[in-house]
């Protein structure tokens, strides 16, 4: 059996060091072969020269814990670069496509937030990236602190401050990638949504715990579970199953077992 764990939106910040330890304990107590870090692992990333020792300890631990660790950039840590991450044995990809499952950060689905999509288009150009990264660390810290101050004031990590996905966009992504399961974070609205094209499972943001997705591939079937990850316990919240090759997900009745 192959197990893939997906988590997102840890929003780790060195000013809250206890969150690093909590997240590491919660994630590493799950038995998995591959880990997908689906974006916004860090609250802000201004370049590898600005990394905190806590950031690097976390990346080292997660990168070496399993066969494979993949990072999908979020809207807050999109400047984490693939060369830097590769030294921790972490691969970088804009999205992960597994058989009939697509994993993305999720901001791509919030197409009704025109201001954000415009901002994203601007900061994801090579030109913006180069111009930002060639500023001194000090200048970048000032810019990041300003953004952080503004976001604290508006509590931008609140779910109601982040727009939700657009249903038509979800459908078109699932159709374009021909998947029956879409997994994403970003919206901080952890839930399982039956969709026209299958299933959509949303991961949560984190404080000292979080809700991720565990995919377990068996010989002829696959389960996708919404699981609560805490330092002291791991709990299945909801579990869905499909037979391999059949794009139909059924809810598993035995879904609230504590696995450890
Ligand atoms: Mn995000």
Helix 137-154 / helix 126-133 crossing angle, nearest 10 deg: 110
Q: What is the 72 CA–ligand 1 centroid distance (Å)?
A: 11
- Structural domains for the chain: 2-251 (3.60.21.10)
Q: What is the 1 CA–ligand 1 centroid distance (Å)?
A: 31
Structure tokens at 178: 């021909």
Please enumerate in sequence order all residues whose Cβ is within 8 A of that of 193, keeping only pairs 6 or more positions apart, or say none: 199, 200, 201, 202
CA distances for 205 relative to 7, 93, 167, 223, angstroms:
9, 20, 21, 22
Q: What is the 258 CA–ligand 1 centroid distance (Å)?
A: 29
pLDDT at 244: 81
Q: For 15-47, write each residue's pLDDT tens digit.
A: 999 999 999 999 999 999 999 999 999 999 999
Q: What is the 203 CA–ligand 1 centroid distance (Å)?
A: 11
Q: Is 216 helix (H, G, I), strand (E, B) or coil?
A: strand
Spans of the chain below 70 pLDDT = 150-156, 253-260
Q: For 47-90, write each residue's pLDDT tens digit.
A: 999 999 999 999 999 999 999 999 999 999 999 999 999 999 99
Q: What is the 39 CA–ligand 1 centroid distance (Å)?
A: 7
Instruction: Give dist(CA 232, CA 77) in Å, integer.
Output: 28
């Amino acid at each position: 059996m192959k197990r893939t764990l997906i988590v997102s939106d840890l929003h780790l910040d060195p000013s809250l060091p206890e969150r690093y330890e909590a997240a590491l304990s919660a994630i590493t107590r799950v038995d998995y072969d591959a880990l997908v870090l689906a974006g916004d692992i860090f609250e802000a990333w201004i370049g590898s020269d600005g990394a905190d020792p806590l950031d690097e300890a976390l990346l080292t631990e997660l990168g070496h814990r399993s066969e494979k660790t993949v990072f999908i950039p979020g809207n807050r840590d999109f400047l984490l670069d693939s060369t830097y991450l590769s030294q921790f044995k972490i691969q970088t990809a804009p999205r992960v496509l597994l058989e009939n499952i697509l994993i993305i950060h999720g901001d791509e689905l919030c197409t009704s937030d025109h201001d954000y999509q415009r901002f994203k288009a601007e900061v994801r150009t090579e030109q913006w990236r180069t111009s930002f990264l060639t500023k001194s660390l000090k200048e970048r810290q000032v810019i990041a602190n300003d953004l952080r101050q503004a976001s604290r004031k508006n509590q931008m990590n609140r779910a109601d401050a982040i727009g939700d996905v657009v249903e038509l966009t979800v459908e078109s992504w699932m159709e374009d990638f021909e998947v029956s399961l879409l997994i994403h974070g970003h919206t901080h609205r952890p839930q399982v949504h039956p969709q026209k094209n299958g299933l959509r499972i949303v991961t949560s943001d984190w404080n000292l715990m979080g809700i991720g997705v565990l995919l377990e591939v068996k010989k002829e079937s696959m389960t996708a579970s919404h699981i609560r990850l805490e330092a002291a316990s791991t709990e299945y919240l909801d579990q869905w199953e499909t037979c391999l090759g059949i794009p139909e997900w059924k809810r598993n009745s035995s879904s609230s077992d504590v696995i450890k």
